[in-house]
Amino acid sequence: MKLRKMLLLAALLLGAAPVPAAPAPVLVLTIQGAIGPATADYVHRGLEAAAKEGAQLVVLKMDTPGGLDTAMRSIIQDILASPVPVASYVAPSGARAASAGTYILYASHFAVMAPATNLGAATPIAIGAPSVPAPATTDKKDKKGKAQDSGSTLEHKMVHDASAYIRGLAQLRGRNADWAERAVREAVSLSSNEAAKIHVIDFIADSVPALLEKLDGRKVKAAGVEHTLRVAGAKVDEFEIGWRTKLLGVITNPSVAYLLVLLGIYAVLYEFSNPGLVLPGVVGVISILLAMYAFQLLPVNYAGLALILLGIAFMVAEAFLPAFGSLGIGGLIAFVIGSIILIDTDAPGFEIPYALIGGIAAASAAFLILVIGMLVRGRRRPVVTGREEMIGASGVALDDFSGEGWARVHSETWRVRASAPVRKGQRLRVKAINGLLLDVTAEPGNGNGG
């Protein structure tokens, strides 16, 4: 009896024992390719989702050649403000975190790389200018012996600003700040093994599970709150790219935005030349609005956009004015120059290919000069229907008359008036219309017809 009670008590105690709670999930975000507005939107939404779902860690898996400065800074601001710790992970093997990717790696709570990956080359690039050389090779001396920079003031401002920015991130996370500054000033790069040795990154991991094993038990502060990570064996969720971010990625592709604005302009021109079709006008307005939204997010040189519009205007004018090709050639040159300088950055992945510009320029010239020229020639053709078509029409007198009589014009019998006597069968030419009376003149050299 005592044994049974003891067994029952033990069963009750075991049944009442608390079941250990499963660790909070880990959310994985993937950045692949150039960093732009769509990437910034994706990371922002991912960090928001991680906070709402109570994730204990976000793994930002990266393989990027760099990207736009504005998008990069937006991502870094979101990481610094995130209540969920972020581990940036350069993977898979062969991937890189160049330029903007290096800044994001330094801003993250943990910096991890897969074997055979690299980071660095973080020098900012100015439009139309080469990368700024190292200070040691650019300094000259003036007559008084003082050091004098050979680079432009703007370039050096950009480099100093970027150096201070990445040094501040390195000091915040306790990483190698000197190398970070060299990555900006000298555009140096590091392999994953070298980065781990000089404390640019925290460690190397072969995979996400291996990364989580190494982070398990570590303490980290995020948004002022200290967290102890329990991520070994935690559930790993992938944050999918939503349709909004996919659409944003498509329209903020510089080539797509360029094509959208041209499609919009040509569609609106076609609608104006053929009023009432409606569809070209609708397509044109939608395309222009999408292009303007994309240009708002991209580093657009509005002088380039103005040159494109001017070039199209000149090519249209060539079809209407006897300029002997000067307007058309000038418009084509303005169009090409505007297209080349439209996107105001040399960031990888955000240039408009020259082959696309050349093809569009040739197609634009053909469309605007040939098609609009055909439209103008069509408008100059004689009218073949209606009241105006009667002017100049030929007819035949149905009887002899002096003053007014009858004639057949276009197989119809008309009352006609002539200033000279007319014989039956004589050929007549209509000069004017007065109500239902035609003013005609006799054609010389015509005999009697029937």
Sign of dihedral through CA atoms 366, 372, 375, 381? negative
Residue 321: strand, helix, or coil: coil
Report CA dihedral (269, 270, 276, 282) to the nearest 10 degrees: -70
Compute the distance between CA of residue 64 and CA of residue 47 in angstroms, rounded to an integer.
19
Bridge partners (DSSP) of residue 197 are none
CA atoms within 13 A on the CB side of 12: 6
Compute the distance between CA of residue 263 and CA of residue 146 in angstroms, rounded to an integer.
55
Joined together, the tokens standing for residue 404 give 């007014």
Bridge partners (DSSP) of residue 141 are 147
Bridge partners (DSSP) of residue 228 are 219
Contacts of 291 (CB under 8 A, 6+ apart): 251, 257, 258, 260, 261, 264
Joined together, the tokens standing for residue 272 give 């104006």
Tell me the catalytic residues.
Answer: 99, 157
Contacts of 78 (CB under 8 A, 6+ apart): 40, 43, 44, 47
CA nearest to 298, candidates 243, 357, 351: 351
Distance of CA 105 to the CA centre of its chain: 26
**What type of residue sits at position 373?**
G
Bridge partners (DSSP) of residue 29 are 60
